[in-house]
Structure 1
């Protein structure tokens, strides 16, 4: 069957810089192809329909997405458009961040370096969980290869190619749950294979579909994720933040501890509890958003403050 194609335009907020999306956090199956981002999306009932988007900036206020798929109904197109707007965070209230910059030279330096554009969200909570699990106890740069390996091993191929390589959709929980431990470990995920299998099996057993989960309140989702063996509060909250865009507490890991400790607390090794309390008191519900700015290219922009941090950003790996 010949794939169908249609074009949709996405309005850009004045704050969003598409160059930032092209250059940072291009975690598979986000793929850069020149000045375009390629992204397979699961749409429709049961997440069964794969629609691939090619996104480029056509003028200062517009992104244009060329959608390709076997069934481009009005509902599928609407789903894809909404997913892209959410993942690229095109509708975020950036004025709230601008208000924080005035009396925060550290945050001002981070924003001056990259603009107010934010990192990309995951299209669904299963992919977000896999991304957070893959990030455990490793350099951020390894996430890129692990997520690509999982997609190429268990995801479906699309009709899109980049540099001669087929672009794969990220797999469903059911597909990963079917895999053996050896097959999952062959994706070079190491000890994370056990948790990835638990995540996939649990969501597959519950009949997970983002098509149904997307309207659930994040506060309701987090307790469900905590039922998964190997998923603790850090993983559950961050996965919710990185898929719904909000709802979980701000994450505190070794990178965040180093950056907040050195740049705000004058302490390179503060207790995680102290860092979490500082984030909550200073930024409240905007904590995760602020951390997105502070942990991107940190080793580059802190030089303008005449200081340094003990970590290196993996945003451009």
Structure 2
């Protein structure tokens, strides 16, 4: 009986020893807290391998990065990150600002002359003739972009020298005709920049033409001159080759078509005292020339960028 008691005592002591040597299962599953590590140290038990490493802690840091700009079919590049309130001016509007130009022109004139007997006011003759000549001219103006897009508006003034004779000739070298000397016009212009280097435009305004009516019926040439006021209407196109410059300014080539509508003008020429002459003249001009942009263009309105930085979480471990 004593042997049984001793055996049971030894068994109980062994079980107690093993129970103290190993932590409970739930403790194994728990994290390596400070209390558990102190308990291991008080009993002389080595720390488990999982507790020998420094506990991981998660820290979220922020990093400012440029916003990514993605575009279909283009290389992916980061977009510029502007600070809040930064003023940024986009590129200037092409063809905007002051300009001057010079041109050569082909001029086509149609002239209808009506001869009227003074005493009876009866038409005695009608003549229709035409002529062509080459002239030259100058133009200056200013364009700006009021809506910060490709639409330009402005004004221009031009002077063209023609010295164009349009006459009806008679046997013996006699003639009746008219010379268009100088055309001046002041125009409103409206244009559209289709591409950065291409402009199409239209213009309209009053035109002032120097006319000299001439005749020679029986002796010396006699003439009467006057200014006629009409209307100029034109359309044109200009192109800026990317590398063309003159004196540091952009240079463009242009072509333009103008139609000058003139009212009928009456002449009382002393070389034909019994008659008056009523002339109806229309002029078409085809111009080719060079255009010099004197400024750097009209700046578009500033854009205020208010782009907050992009915050991307970055995970790390101590």
Q: Do these two structures clear the TM 0.5 threshold for a shared fold by scoring above it?
A: no
Q: Which one has a larger percent strand, Structure 1 or Structure 2?
A: 2
Under a length normalisation based on structure 1, what TM-score does the superposition of the two structures give? 0.17
Q: Which one has a larger percent helix, Structure 1 or Structure 2?
A: 1
Higher relative contact order (CA 8 A, sep 6+): 2
Under a length normalisation based on structure 2, what TM-score does the superposition of the two structures give? 0.17
